[in-house]
Structure 1
């Protein structure tokens, strides 16, 4: 009896237990930072403190830690990974290249920062994510026009860039006013790969080369082909940031004033802090993360969802879409959300109206084609997580007793019939007489 009571109590608590372990928000909370040297924890403390202040649990470890592991008993211990270990040739513990890629493939997020000491391991991770660092390991980005004035006596490797991607979802609604200081290596992205985006680009005068040697041939990367910071949003909505500058996150460049060569305007502080902070918000799903709930459909004038529709039925469709603000789910407002009524190809494509409170709705007539259809919402916009929803519904033809009694196209025939009935008695008699004569003649000829 006691065991039965305990079992009943456990079952009664099960919904609450499941609720407590189901995340109410999509934000990554457990972050692992792998470092080449623990001194980076203090030299890049402003960036790390901004993450910790937003409620993240940040775990710092050396990249060669022999106890390093991302999983335990098949469960991931972390939600996001920051690789600030460009020179590491081999990770410690059970972590390797395949482990990092599996981590991303499972929907987790990654920030990778390299420099001119980038190892083959770090380069291979970037390549697998769709970004190719310059093959010349001694080459870094040089710009003899867009460089920081304080470095005029140097080799112009501390460059200034303000060519940001135009996306509020990725960099926030507050514009980065000051340019970003960048010192590091160049990388390129495949223009045919729609998953990889340039977030910070080099100027047309930039090129990638070894600053300590003369150019014997044209550089492999130059001008607009150089990306300084790129992001990837995978099809599973995992987010990745890749850059060739570890110094970009450092306290030194964050606190440094900046003045672009040839520009009289001087900023007391670079835009690095705002840039890397807003970028980390996007990577950790604090912004641009959408969810769709309550996909519903029913016949016009009804509320219950039917198991089947009939051709030419009038129906209403609705779905709710919300965006994570970093603290709560807020209504997502847009005018480009569409629904397809789909069977092999879309028979109906409608743009949904919104009540500005997260509800999107429309109404339309079921096409005059029967079969198995789907309601499909496939929403993909720059910087936002992709929404892909579908719900299947069969459509049947009319039954034999559901067709119209009188068909409009047959009205001439109906009219002819009624005209015959309404003929005058004389005309009717004459018609009957002619019919009798014709029948008699036919009978005579047959004899």
Structure 2
């Protein structure tokens, strides 16, 4: 008997499984590290010129897929599912992406909770500048402008235009740069950008020195530069409200092997360093962007009356209650207890009636207890925890608070005993005894 041929649908499914990129680790709420990365390049030669950075990602378990930015097969989704967890854009000069990819698709990718590293140089196209602007970074409007520093520049640039600069103006954050401080300065050649100070989602991770400015090195200055000093952001970070993270660098060369291995600096204060801090910077910041650090989750939220274990449907005024929550931080491989002394709970109705700092057992559990205010209405348990470099923890749950029932009030209030005594004393003092009429008869 002849073997039955597999149906077309089954055959198509098998082919799709074979050609689809299957991750070793799936990206999810329980595993927030982005493992599947699409790397878009202007030139495939960047794979070798920036190999130290790429190899650091591969050594930590990331799956990198390299493609030219104008590849006709580019796509970030298939059948409504994301093919990648993160995107690295090292294609500053591309004016139009290939395939179905465009500026809106990149932004939708970030809006879906995925991460992005974008590095540019002086050849940055309007397409790339537009993506950066939508992520909160505004590059210098002059397309020929680069960051210049006549004081803090690399020794190899002594006879040039001082566009290969050195900076050590880092934001102070161990969660972003790691526990080991970056002591050596960063080599940077590229364009500067500004960040709107009112935008709380974007921060300047590395800024230029006070002597730097943004201008065209081949043109004579006819007016003050629009960007000067520490207002120039060299590397900026953005963390969206959906916890997607974006790195924007005005220098593609900063990630290159040349800047990573560069020796010696002109400034006396830099002479003691034999190697730049570029490798440490790009490695540590990439860990943050791809959620190897600073990703928090809250589980097991509980509240109940003191002495009970079940969660009630409502509380009564003046009840004693307990609240607890467990908070963990993703280490890149597993969830570890998050330890802090500034996690606060609000018992909220229009404004906080109770604000308590929760204590921790240093194993992830945070708890506190308090008395329900003598105000009835609909309250909320709220935990709003936002710290630099960490994903936010936002918890809220409504609970009604009722007054005493008529039969729950105390019959005799101890504080009112003086009034009780005064009342009874008054009654006894004005009450006359019942005397018979015959007691008043006078015998004649």
Give the Cα–Cα distance (whole angstroms) in 1 for the partners of residues 183 and 419 of structure 2. 78
Displacement of 1:410 in angstroms is 3.6
* Equivalent in 322, 326, 343 of residue 337 of structure 1: 343
- Whether 1:198 aligns to 2:186 is no
Closer/same/farther in 2, CA of residues 420 and 155 from structure 1, 3 Å limit: closer
Q: Any idea what the Cα deviations from partners look like across 1:182-232, whole Å, max 9, x if unmatched?
A: 000111111111111111110010011111121122111111110100001
- Whether 1:252 aligns to 2:262 is no
TM-score, length-scaled by structure 1:
0.89
Displacement of 1:373 in angstroms is 1.3
Give the Cα–Cα distance (whole angstroms) in 2 for the partners of residues 377 and 205 of structure 1. 43
Q: Where do residues 248-397 of structure 1 align in structure 2 (5 Å cutoff)?
A: 248-263=254-269, 265-397=271-403
Pairwise CA RMSD: 1.8
Tell me, yes or no, if the aligned pair for 1:257 and 1:266 is still in contact at 8 Å. no
Give the Cα–Cα distance (whole angstroms) in 1 for the partners of residues 106 and 28 of structure 2. 25
Tell me, yes or no, if the aligned pair for 1:179 and 1:258 is still in contact at 8 Å. no
* Equivalent in 185, 201, 207 of residue 191 of structure 2: 185
Give the Cα–Cα distance (whole angstroms) in 2 for the partners of residues 292 and 363 of structure 1. 19
SS for the counterpart of 2:269 is: coil
Closer/same/farther in 2, CA of residues 286 and 142 from structure 1, 3 Å limit: same
Tell me, yes or no, if the aligned pair for 1:184 and 1:246 is still in contact at 8 Å. yes
Tell me, yes or no, if the aligned pair for 1:146 and 1:160 is still in contact at 8 Å. yes
Displacement of 1:346 in angstroms is 1.3
Aligned residues: 412
Closer/same/farther in 2, CA of residues 22 and 91 from structure 1, 3 Å limit: closer
- Whether 1:148 aligns to 2:179 is no
Tell me, yes or no, if the aligned pair for 2:184 and 2:270 is still in contact at 8 Å. no
Q: Any idea what the Cα deviations from partners look like across 1:369-418, whole Å, max 9, x if unmatched?
A: 11221111100000000110112211111111000111245423421343
SS for the counterpart of 1:121 is: helix
Closer/same/farther in 2, CA of residues 306 and 94 from structure 1, 3 Å limit: same
Tell me, yes or no, if the aligned pair for 1:323 and 1:332 is still in contact at 8 Å. yes
The equivalent of 1:90 in structure 2 is: 96
SS for the counterpart of 1:258 is: coil
The equivalent of 2:121 in structure 1 is: 115
Tell me, yes or no, if the aligned pair for 2:94 and 2:125 is still in contact at 8 Å. yes
Displacement of 1:422 in angstroms is 5.9
- Whether 1:234 aligns to 2:251 is no
Give the Cα–Cα distance (whole angstroms) in 2 for the partners of residues 258 and 196 of structure 1. 32
* Equivalent in 213, 224, 234 of residue 230 of structure 2: 224
SS for the counterpart of 1:364 is: strand
Tell me, yes or no, if the aligned pair for 2:27 and 2:33 is still in contact at 8 Å. no
Unaligned stretches of 5+ residues in structure 2 = 1-25, 438-444
* Equivalent in 34, 40, 55 of residue 61 of structure 2: 55
4+ residue segments displaced more than 6 Å: none
Give the Cα–Cα distance (whole angstroms) in 1 for the partners of residues 172 and 273 of structure 2. 22
* Equivalent in 41, 44, 47 of residue 38 of structure 1: 44
- Whether 1:80 aligns to 2:86 is yes
Of 411-420 and 392-401, the range deviating more from structure 2: 411-420
Give the Cα–Cα distance (whole angstroms) in 2 for the partners of residues 275 and 346 of structure 1. 41
SS for the counterpart of 2:340 is: coil
SS for the counterpart of 1:137 is: coil
The equivalent of 1:5 in structure 2 is: none
SS for the counterpart of 2:328 is: strand
Give the Cα–Cα distance (whole angstroms) in 2 for the partners of residues 22 and 150 of structure 1. 46
Give the Cα–Cα distance (whole angstroms) in 2 for the partners of residues 139 and 22 of structure 1. 41
Give the Cα–Cα distance (whole angstroms) in 2 for the partners of residues 110 and 357 of structure 1. 32
- Structure showing the higher helix proportion among its residues: 1
Give the Cα–Cα distance (whole angstroms) in 2 for the partners of residues 32 and 415 of structure 1. 84
Tell me, yes or no, if the aligned pair for 1:318 and 1:359 is still in contact at 8 Å. yes
SS for the counterpart of 1:37 is: coil
Displacement of 1:265 in angstroms is 2.1
The equivalent of 1:160 in structure 2 is: 166
Displacement of 1:72 in angstroms is 0.8
Closer/same/farther in 2, CA of residues 264 and 410 from structure 1, 3 Å limit: closer
Give the Cα–Cα distance (whole angstroms) in 2 for the partners of residues 255 and 428 of structure 1. 105
